[in-house]
Chains A and B, each alone.
Chain A
C-alpha cells in the first residue's frame, strides 16, 4: 500500500474531507515540491546572471499574478488595473523607507498593507457592480492612479521617479542577483503557500462560491459585498508585495512603468497559466516573461539577413504577447495548468488508458 501511494495515483481514492483538502495529494508531489525548492536554493551558484535575472522577474511578477488570479480566477471579478496596484506597492515601499527610515525588511509587507488599503477603497464599487461594469471601473482606476503617480511629487518623486534602497538584514545587503534571488524565493514560497491555504479556508471557499453563482452564494449566507471587496484587498496586497520586491530589485521606480500595458500582461499571465489555479499563475508568468526573450533570440537569429527586423523588436515583442493571449483563449482557454493536468492524466494509466 505504501509503495502505491508514493507514486502517482491511477484514480480518485479520497475517502475523507481531510484527504480532499491536502496541498500535496501524494508523497511524490510533496517530495517534488521540496526537491524543487532545494534546487532553487542552490540555483544561484550555477545559473548565469541572465537566467537569475529572469528568475527574479518571474518571482515578483508571479506574486502579483497570483494576486490577480485570486480576484479574477477565484472570485470572478475582472480587474484591469492591477499594474497600478503593483506600481503603488513599489512607490509605497520606497517612500516608507526613504521618509521614515524603517528598514526595507519591514517596508515590503508594510507596502503590501498600504496597497491593500488602497485596493479596499478601489474595491468599494466592486461591491455594487460586476462583470463588464466592474472591468470598466477598474480601467478608470488604472488611469486615475497613473495620473496620481505623475502628480504626487511627495510620494513618487513625480517625473524624476523615486530611489529605492537595497534590501538588507542586519547590515548585510542583498544588492546583487545572487543574493536578491533568496529574498524573492522566500517571498514566492511564502506568498504561494499563503495563497494555497487561503483557498482552503472559509473565505477562500466563499470566493469560489461568489464566482460560480453569486446569487446562490448570497442565499447561502455569504456576504457578497464583504467578499468582493475583500478579494480586491487581498489581490492588492499581493500586487503591493510584488511591486515592493520589484522596486528594491531595480533600486529605482519611475511612474512610466505601470501603464495599462502591464495590467494587460498580468491578465495575460493568468489566462495563459490558467484562471483559478495557484500554480498556473506561476506557469503563466514564466511564459509571459520568457516569451519576449524567446522572440528577441529569434529575431537576432533571422535578423542578420532581414533588415529592419531588429529595429522593430519592441513591436514584435508586444505583438507576440497579444497574439499569445488570443491563441490561448481560442485553443487552450483553461491555460497551461489545464494542459499540465491533461499530461498527468495521460500518464496516470499509461499503457492502459482505456
Chain B
C-alpha cells in the first residue's frame, strides 16, 4: 500500500471531481430548463479554452483581459446556438434532439481541430509558482484556482436560483413550461439564458483544465464523462451533479490506484466510470437525487 500516492490521488480526485461537478451542473441546467440533453457540453469547454488560448497567445493579451473577453464571447455564442439550432428542435422527439447536439459536437470538434491543429498546446504561464505545498502534498496552483473557482460558481448558482428573478423564472420553467408562460415568463429568454450560462461556465472550466493539461481535443471528453456523473446524481438535480461529480472524480482515481497497485489491467481510469454508470442504471435509474418519472395515460 502506497499511502502517499493514495492521498495524492484522492486529492486529485476531489479537485477533478469538483470540475466534473461544475460541468455536470451546466449540463443539468440545460436539461432542467429546456429538456435537451446536451452532447456538445464538452465542446463548450473546448471552444472556451481555445478562444482564451488564442487571445492569450496569438493576440498576447494579459490573462485578466483575455479571460473576460472569452466569457463574453461564450455568452453570445450560447445564445446564438440556442436561437439558430436548438429553437427549431422544440417539440421534436428525443432522438432528434440528441442527434442535433451530437451533430454540433462533431462539427465543433473538427472545426476546432482544423483551426488550432490536433496537438495539445500549453497555456502561457499565468501564475508565478507552478505548484504549492499544502500539508505535505504538492498541488498545482491552477488546481487550487480551479477548486476556488468551482466553489465560487457553485455558490453563485445557489444564489442565482434562490434569489434572482431570472433564476426563479428558470425554476418555474423547469417545473412547468405552460404554467410559467401563462404567468408572464418569457420561455424563449429562459432557454437562451440557460444556454448562455451553461456555455459561459463550461468555458471557465475549460480554461482551468487547459491551464493544467494544455488544450487539445481531449478536453471534449469531459462532455462524455459528464454522463456517469449526471446519471449518478440524477439528471435533473443540481445538487446531484455536484455530489456525482465528486464521487466519480474520486472513483476514477481510486480505480487508477487499485489498478496500478494490484490489477494491472490498464485504462481503468477512463473505463471505470462507465461500469459504474451501467450498475447505477440497473439499480437506481433515476440517480441519487433525480425525480422519478411517473406517467399517466
Q: Does A222 contact B (CB under 8 A)?
A: no
In whole Å, how far is A148's beta carbon from the nearest beta carbon of chain B? Answer: 9
Q: Encode A193-227 as 1/0 by CB contact (under 8 A) with B.
A: 00000000000000000000001100100000000
Q: Which of B96, B111, B235 contacts A329 (CB 8 A)?
A: B96
Q: Does B278 contact A (CB under 8 A)?
A: yes
Q: Encode B76-116 as 1/0 by CB contact (under 8 A) with A.
A: 00000000010011001011101110111111111101100
In whole Å, how far is A323's beta carbon from the nearest beta carbon of chain B? Answer: 6
List the B residue with the shortest CB-CB distance to A325: B103
Q: Cβ of B174: which chain A residues have Cβ within 8 Å of it?
A: none
Which of A36-44, A128-136, A235-243, A343-351 contacts its partner?
Answer: A128-136
A150-B235 Cα distance, complex, nearest whole Å:
31
List the A residue with the shortest CB-CB distance to B107: A322
A325 lies within 8 A of B99 (CB)? yes
B107 lies within 8 A of A326 (CB)? yes
Q: Does A140 contact B (CB under 8 A)?
A: yes
Where chain A touches its partner, the secondary structure class is helix
A330 lies within 8 A of B275 (CB)? no
Q: Cβ of B227: which chain A residues have Cβ within 8 Å of it?
A: 136, 139-140
Q: Encode A91-133 as 1/0 by CB contact (under 8 A) with B.
A: 0000000000000000000000000000000000100110111
Q: Does B224 contact A (CB under 8 A)?
A: yes
B285 lies within 8 A of A321 (CB)? no
Q: Does A78 contact B (CB under 8 A)?
A: yes
A325 lies within 8 A of B285 (CB)? no
A260-B108 Cα distance, complex, nearest whole Å:
16
In whole Å, how far is A321's beta carbon from the nearest beta carbon of chain B? Answer: 6
A72 lies within 8 A of B95 (CB)? yes
In whole Å, how far is B113's beta carbon from the nearest beta carbon of chain A? Answer: 5
A319 lies within 8 A of B111 (CB)? yes
A323 lies within 8 A of B107 (CB)? yes
Q: Does B185 contact A (CB under 8 A)?
A: no
Q: Does B134 contact A (CB under 8 A)?
A: no
Q: Does B71 contact A (CB under 8 A)?
A: no
Q: Would A315 and B111 be within 8 Å (CB), given that A143-B271, A264-B102, A329-B103 are in contact?
A: yes
Interface hits, A61-108 → B, CB 8 Å: 72, 76, 78
Q: Would A319 and B110 be within 8 Å (CB), given that A129-B285, A132-B94 are in contact?
A: yes
A72-B111 Cα distance, complex, nearest whole Å:
29
Q: Cβ of B109: which chain A residues have Cβ within 8 Å of it?
A: 318
Q: Which of B108, B114, B281 contacts A133 (CB 8 A)?
A: B281
A264 lies within 8 A of B106 (CB)? yes
A322 lies within 8 A of B271 (CB)? no
Q: Would A322 and B274 be within 8 Å (CB), given that A128-B285, A330-B88 are in contact?
A: no
Q: Cβ of A151: which chain B residues have Cβ within 8 Å of it?
A: 265-267
A139 lies within 8 A of B94 (CB)? no
Q: Would A275 and B277 be within 8 Å (CB), given that A325-B100, A326-B85 are in contact?
A: no
A147 lies within 8 A of B271 (CB)? yes
A128 lies within 8 A of B274 (CB)? no
B96 lies within 8 A of A135 (CB)? no
Q: Does B1 contact A (CB under 8 A)?
A: no
Q: Does A278 contact B (CB under 8 A)?
A: no
Q: Does A267 contact B (CB under 8 A)?
A: yes
- Could you jot down 9 A-B contacts, CB within 8 Å? A135-B98, A144-B275, A264-B106, A316-B114, A322-B107, A323-B103, A324-B103, A329-B100, A330-B85
- For the A-B complex with A78-B98, A267-B102 known, give 14 more contacts whose Cβ atoms are closer than 8 Å: A128-B282, A132-B94, A136-B227, A136-B231, A139-B227, A140-B274, A215-B297, A216-B297, A267-B99, A319-B111, A322-B104, A325-B103, A329-B89, A329-B100
Q: Which 3 pairs across A and B sit closest by C-beta, in order of nearness?
A: A322-B106, A322-B107, A325-B103
